[in-house]
Structure 1
Amino acid sequence: MGPIAFDATLWDEPTTGIGLYTRCLASALEALGVQLTRVGAQSSGEAPRAKAGRTAWTLGGLPRVLQRSDALLYHAHGNFNLPLIRAPGMKYVLTVHDLIPLLMPETVSAAFRWQFRLWMSRSLMVADQVVCVSERTRQDLLARYPEAESRTVVVPNGVDHVHAPVLDDTSKDFLRALSLPKEYVLYAGSLDVRKNVDLVLDALERLRLRGRPASLVLAGQSWFGAGRVEARISRLRSEGFEVRSLGYQSDAVFYELMRRAAVFVFPSRYEGFGLPPLEAMRLGTPTIVSTAGSLPEVCGDAALSVGPDDANGLARALDRLLHSPEERRALGERGKAQAAKFTWKRTAEGTLAAYEAALRR
């Protein structure tokens, strides 16, 4: 197999789920001997886009790059971002992580929703293979685009990029200054409506009414629609609830917060894969997830699960774990065993098989 033109449009950007996927998959493919040509990064790689925006470059600049390339295949990672026209002789592979703008349109801007809908329809017309990160995503895709079934495969993400963090002095000082309680509940992710942080806050209120207060730490960036949740967090803090909202953190601090947490909670209303709970499980942190989206598929019985509207159920699960070190240890061990099944080597092997299938078309 010759070189693969590899979508690097998020390579130099602040880390997002797709950016993490891009870098981890690239490393794992190169470890298998696949030659990658990274195209579209802001400044790195073999064909950077410089000051051009991602959308403008993909529509205008990328087709010219691919026409000059000696690669036979281009792999896009952003759900819908294949070029609108095919470069002569070039095969296309597309990774779809989720269909959130179609499934939960109220959680994204109207402009992005329309961009997603129109561009995905075209991308699925020109894609030779479509890689879905979970069976849930594949089923959601085929419910709307059944014509893609013969070209669609499931290749789950890996999680072995996560290791017990090595902290520099600045990170150690930062964590020490936080003076976090010994046993805290952690939510990690953005604060948008889809992530359902309100359910965690509902559970906190119920626990306090029962005389069983819990401490909550939130690590993640603000996102579209986060304002109402942020206002509620401020109100709860003014009422004496122990809620720490730490915002976006470096990888080392982020994973150390996960490792130290008594319980990790992730009650999302929908995930195409759901990497944060799997990361917590890899670190041995007992985890509670919702029963929505791909979370049951990914976490199996190695995490406790509650319905995405079941605040009482979440309160009971939190209370049980916070007051049972033995159950936390047992659940943490089950989580590590489940997370060990998800490696980037397996992701790369499945992706390579998709490349080979595309080239045979």
Structure 2
Amino acid sequence: MSIGPIAFDASLWDEPTTGIGLYTRCLASSLEGFGVTLERFGARVSGEHPRGQMGRTGYALAHLPRDLRASQARLFHALGNFNLPLTRVPGKAYVVTVHDLLPLTMRETVSTAFRWQFRLWLSRSLRVADRVICVSAHTEDELLARFPEATGRTLVVHNGVDHVDAERLDLTGEAFVRALALPKDFVLYAGSLDVRKNVSLVLDALERLRAQGKKASLVLAGQSWFGSGPVETRVGRMRAEGFDIRPLGYQSAPVFYELMRRAAVFVFPSLGEGFGLPPLEAMRLGTATIVSNAGALPEVCGDAAPAVRPDDAEGLAEVIDQLLRSPEERRSWAEKGRRRAEQFTWKRAAERTLEAYESALAQVGG
């Protein structure tokens, strides 16, 4: 089937990189690699239909339906969990990607206003969507448990991870990383510092290691997020007590991934993930990775990363210590991680997404 141009949700195209923004750009590039023409809607300044100074929500509700009516594209793909127009545009198929249901399953990790927006808009989007892409079977299961009306219209399409291969430091980046004077064998957490990511468990593990007379250096690379205040306060207190914790804040992609390459161990004990891209990135880059057994992490990481319960600080401390003391074991886990990560490519994600497009177009007679 010839699918023609695709109306593509670009609402996060020009924004600071988030997981959905990364998904947007990587999927777009891979779809274009298959010869698909994308018509970008809703970026601030990029693409064929920029929204300008209008907010993302206002554009999607008020202007997107008008712009879609004027477009030759027969299908619109919304990429941000719920942001389909509230009504059907005649002759257009709708696809939406759902990354997670965490605003509903972990209510404390988002604001009340966003939780209500998420619930109401997702519910409406599922009513008008012809196909729903879920980034993991875990997300699909949670979606169908709460919205059984979507049964028969979902498709699991895993994210790719091979985007990390292209991210290399330039001379300025190399100088910056050298200036950090990172310790030889450090533990890395890379990602936002919100409650859901469970960075507090890593801090608990450090305290247990110190109580046993053992040391570990921790590097934190990631931006503040909703609910990150207590973690940041605790990091400051622990640093004052002599713990070697180095909070670096948000870093560009080349620096972010270079930190992953240089870490002895990457830790990601999240309380819940719709997919869990950071540990898969670390695995792709050849770093031994520790995860929790929550959310989609077992599905994504398989048996290629040791897993602990998200409340097991003793267990996490034990695994960190074991890996720091054994370069051979780190290399073994790193090799397992590389092999696992090879299964997740953006080319494969694009192929599966095209299947969803064809199915959606057939549904509306395209």
- TM interval, short-chain normalised: over 0.9
Structure 1 Cα separation of the partners of residues 115 and 356 of structure 2: 28
Structure 2 Cα separation of the partners of residues 31 and 318 of structure 1: 41
Task: From 87, 93, 96, give the equivalent of 2:95.
Answer: 93
Task: Give a deviation string over 1:129-158, Cα, whole Å, max 9, x none.
Answer: 000000000000000001101000100000
1:330 counterpart residue number: 332
What is the deviation of 1:29? 0.5
Task: Provide the secondary structure at the position in 2 that maps to 1:253.
Answer: helix
**Residue 145 of structure 1 pairs with residue 147 of structure 2:** yes
Q: How many residues align?
A: 361
**Residue 308 of structure 1 pairs with residue 310 of structure 2:** yes
2:278 counterpart residue number: 276
Structure 2 Cα separation of the partners of residues 102 and 154 of structure 1: 20
Amino acid at match of 1:27: S
1:235 counterpart residue number: 237
1:16 counterpart residue number: 18
What is the deviation of 1:169? 2.3
Task: Give a deviation string over 1:283-314, Cα, whole Å, max 9, x none.
Answer: 00000000000000000000010000000000
Of the structure 1 ranges 161-170 and 310-319, higher mean CA displacement relative to structure 2 is found in 161-170
**Residue 294 of structure 1 pairs with residue 296 of structure 2:** yes
Structure 2 Cα separation of the partners of residues 88 and 165 of structure 1: 42
After TM superposition, the structure 1 = structure 2 runs for residues 1-361 of structure 1, keeping only pairs within 5 Å, are: 1-163=3-165, 165-361=167-363
Equivalent residues of 1:267, 1:288 under 8 A apart: yes
Equivalent residues of 1:82, 1:94 under 8 A apart: yes
Of the structure 1 ranges 159-168 and 70-79, higher mean CA displacement relative to structure 2 is found in 159-168
Task: Give a deviation string over 1:251-296, Cα, whole Å, max 9, x none.
Answer: 1100000000000000000000000000000000000000000000
Task: Provide the secondary structure at the position in 2 that maps to 1:163.
Answer: helix
Task: Provide the secondary structure at the position in 1 that maps to 2:237.
Answer: helix
What is the deviation of 1:165? 4.1
Unaligned runs of 5+ in 2: none
Amino acid at match of 1:156: H
Amino acid at match of 1:130: V
Task: Provide the secondary structure at the position in 2 that maps to 1:55.
Answer: helix
What is the deviation of 1:40? 0.7
Amino acid at match of 1:129: R
Structure 2 Cα separation of the partners of residues 180 and 227 of structure 1: 25
Structure 1 vs Structure 2 CA RMSD: 0.7
Unaligned runs of 5+ in 1: none
Task: Give a deviation string over 1:78-102, Cα, whole Å, max 9, x none.
Answer: 0010000111111100000000110
Give the TM-score taking structure 2 as reference length: 0.98
Task: Provide the secondary structure at the position in 2 that maps to 1:348.
Answer: helix
Q: Quote the sequence identity (%).
A: 71
Give the TM-score taking structure 1 as reference length: 0.99
